[in-house]
Amino acid sequence: MKKTPINQQLVDQNIAKLRIDHVGQASIREIVALVNLVEEAGSEKFIRMEMGVPGLPPAQVGTEAEIEALQSGVASKYPMMDGIKPLKEEASRFIKLFMDVDVSPAGCIPTVGSMQGTYAALLVASNVDPKKDTALFIDPGFPVQKQQMLVMGHHYETFDVFNYRGAKLREKLEEFLSQGNINSIIYSNPNNPSWICFTEQELQIIGELANKYDVIVMEDLAYFGMDFRKDLYTPGKPPYQPTVARYTNNYVLFVSSSKIFSYAGQRCGMMIISDALFNRDYDNLKTRFQSNTFGNSIVLRVLYTLSSGTSHSAQYALAAMFKAASDGKFNFINDVREYSEKAKIMKSIFQKHGFYIVYEKDGDELVGDGFYFTIAYPTMTGEELLANLLYYGVSAITLKNTGSEKEGLRACVSHVQRSQFDDLDKRLEQFAADFPVN
């Protein structure tokens, strides 16, 4: 047994303790639990890249607004189910200024994080038409959204977009949509885990096919504006955050405060539903939820039963952050640029020691540096790579967990400190020496 930075027996004992049959197939939370146990029992700290959590302080403008709201007594009052008026208005304004998309405040709904928003939207979309009982995920993607489908007992299909970029995307989507059973298309942009960003051509293809086959597009914008290859922060002026909303009215957007504002702990995001979809009647929703319209089914049936509203004080925080950004007083993109700078350095360290980037290109352009990147090592599957790297004190999740067909790992940069870069370099140097590539 090789001597590694982390005691191998300690890792194996805790894998057994958590009853993880195959560590390479472990969920994000299982890897988190495993690394926590190993760190508690030993003296060495991990280079932790497994969980996509913010690693920066929360936006001060939000914290101050929430404190003020709490001091005014909002904690004793239930908020309106569809959100407080200032937040709805500022969300509508934010979407206009940073996406150049018009949506009424009525369709801007606060949710308990985007997680609750996607759950509600997926649930309602799965019931708009009895013949359309299946959702389609453009992978790789956020694994927990598929867990939501599992919990609901609903059907879904997936495909890895790696080989279907550009014009090829149309044919692949048609392959699924032409069957007539797809109710929605789900993806993230920028993408978790690959950090690819759909081009305007690809977004237009998705929008046009959504119109043709009457399916709902769910666009997860958890990393809004974080394609750092271009400056997406100038309120009211291009370039804007790319979106399918320019090509279809059948859309639901999810804007999270967790990453762009580092406000994850208060669990407050926004679900943005187009005016056309929000007010659209579906006969089957009347049967299923006793509520005709898509918007009312989400707000007054699903969200009401899930949580009876979103944190009152956090809504004031999010309203203040949207307002400051739209007023040009809060450049949230510059605030999170640290992720891009760390990713660039970390990628170079991995590549120095024989690793390679899996999702490397957006068309002819290199994928940007951001919150995530993808890595692989010659001769190893993703599961083997994760299992081996744990002994070297490096944690991540496999790409297979995200719906990817590629071998490798998703690496998140947010909780890796710059002070750990030298340690990462040394551990990967030893790893490469112990697993030489011939």
Give me the mean pLDDT over the 69-84 stretch.
96
Average pLDDT, the chain: 95
The pLDDT value recorded for residue 1 is 57
Which of the four pLDDT bands, split at 50, 70 and 90, describes residue 326? very high
The pLDDT value recorded for residue 397 is 93
DSSP β-ladder status, 356-357 and 372-376 = antiparallel
Give me the mean pLDDT over the 15-20 stretch.
92
pTM as predicted: 0.93
Residue 42 has pLDDT above 90, yes or no: no
Residue 330 has pLDDT above 80, yes or no: yes
Question: Is the C-alpha dihedral spanning 162, 163, 167, 169 positive or negative?
Answer: negative
The pLDDT value recorded for residue 71 is 98
Residue from 235, 203, 151, 216 nearest 177 by CA: 216
* Residues 361/437, Cβ–Cβ less than 8 Å: no
Residue from 83, 14, 75, 21 nearest 42 by CA: 14
Which of the four pLDDT bands, split at 50, 70 and 90, describes residue 53? confident
As a whole number of angstroms, the distance between CA 205 and CA 116 comes to 28
Give me the mean pLDDT over the 118-147 stretch.
95
Residue 73 has pLDDT above 90, yes or no: yes
Residue 292 has pLDDT above 90, yes or no: no
Looking at per-residue confidence, does 399 or 2 come out higher? 399
The pLDDT value recorded for residue 438 is 74
